[in-house]
Amino acid sequence: MPIIQADIRRGRSARQRDELISELTRIVHEVSGAPAETISAVVRELPGPATYEAGAPSPEYAPGPDGTDLAALTELAARPQAHPQSDADA
């Protein structure tokens, strides 16, 4: 019996959490063949600063009009862009 564990930043609506688990359950069912009714899920909601991205504390979730995480988009835009090392640099 598969168990899905999702650690997410707090602030999402019940509808967003339900959709997340519904889609993850569907995918686990498709990939594993386990009957959907045997797939369990746990969602843990954490404060933003208790999670880290690129070694820095994450901001709190800031929902946009369509549920897009505005805080994460702002943070990603402010990060220096990583560039893959070319053969000439090696």
* Strand intervals (E) in the chain: 3-9, 40-46, 52-53, 56-57
Average pLDDT over residues 57-86: 77
pTM: 0.71
Q: pLDDT (tens digit, 9 = 90+) per residue, 5-40?
A: 999 999 888 999 999 999 999 999 999 999 999 999
Taking a C-beta distance cutoff of 8 angstroms, is the pair 62, 26 a contact?
no
pLDDT band at 87 (very low <50, low <70, confident <90, very high): low
Q: How far apart are CA 10 and CA 2, in angstroms?
A: 24
What percent of the chain is modeled with pLDDT above 90?
47
Rounded CA separation 16/44 (Å): 14
